[in-house]
Structure 1
């Protein structure tokens, strides 16, 4: 015999007893699953991105060439040497007092790319001219760093490709090159040791 209070109604649900998960006090299962999914996606993204970003870093051989030290003790005035830095030639020339005077005597107004010799060298080391050995026209390697090579009309460097001519301060004086030979970053570590780069 059924009473009014215990009538079975298929549409009626039994009363829910509130617990710590239902009243919003503790985490629900759905919250845990959301946090776990986002954490898993974050770990997966990091796993993919770290090698991707790491491969953009320079390789060990490039880092080794990032800077180079050169001993200048054996380079006498009037001589020059060619070294390699970042797979490019660098000309290091020990200028004579006459070459320094010739460079200083050139009026800046006559230069295509006006720079003084002092702007192209370090204070206290005006005799050491350090430039990239790459013509600013089309990237050929000019002549003039080695003894007996053609130095052109201005006594500096001569590009055999298209005839650009540079003076003793490696400034463009004739031919199609638009700019002076570039001066790389360098610093003297000792009076006879220079670090390029």
Structure 2
């Protein structure tokens, strides 16, 4: 222990050296904070991403059996107007041996089974699947052969997870807010 620290611990008056050490420490903390802040601030989402944190989409004119694709947070989102046959196939798939188990009723809002909203990015390598391909009449990723059913659940291929569900809420009979 230095002589000044011993004196300070013993209740003696602080010295000029103690003041210099405290000021040097405070300046070092300030300098490190000043240097680190731009790097920390860079991790915040950009302004254009924050602007797209939520979007409102008019889905009312989407015909039965069709889907619209919107961009949300830089990713495609599929808003699918499912037919009764597509819904029946999805419900029948509830009892199948699924890699990522999920019931069809858990993948849409209650009472809105005809509308399925999923993030349109394959969970294998991030490709964008197309609708209508594959054995299960849902989405097919042509890059590596992942096949999703009409509920967006993975049924075959290398993808480990179902198509992700974004946070969304229906605002009216023809508008949905995603995000």
TM-score range relative to shorter protein: 0.7 to 0.9
Structure 1 contact 118–126 (Cα < 8 Å) conserved: yes
Distance 2:145 2:22 in 1: 69
SS at match of 2:130: coil
Residue of structure 1 in register with 2:97 after alignment? 110
- Flag structure 2 segments of 5+ consecutive residues without an equivalent: 1-10
User: Could you tell me which of 45, 53, 77 is aligned with 1:66?
Assistant: 53
Residue of structure 2 in register with 1:165 after alignment? 147
The Cα of 1:107 is off from its aligned counterpart by 4.4
User: Is 1:184 matched up with 2:166?
Assistant: yes
Aligned pairs for 1:96-107 within 5 A: 96-107=83-94
Residue of structure 1 in register with 2:8 after alignment? none
Residue of structure 1 in register with 2:133 after alignment? 151
Q: Which has the higher helix share?
A: 2
User: Could you tell me which of 55, 58, 79 is aligned with 2:66?
Assistant: 79
Distance 2:156 2:28 in 1: 62
TM-score normalised by length of structure 2? 0.77
SS at match of 1:181: coil
The Cα of 1:177 is off from its aligned counterpart by 3.3
Structure 2 CA distance for partners of 1:60 and 1:174, relative to 1, 3 Å: same
The Cα of 1:87 is off from its aligned counterpart by 2.0
Structure 2 CA distance for partners of 1:49 and 1:71, relative to 1, 3 Å: same
Alignment RMSD, CA only?
Answer: 2.5
- Flag structure 1 segments of 5+ consecutive residues without an equivalent: 1-23, 145-149
Distance 2:42 2:127 in 1: 31
Residue of structure 2 in register with 1:90 after alignment? 77
Distance 1:50 1:78 in 2: 51
Count of paired positions: 169
The Cα of 1:81 is off from its aligned counterpart by 0.6
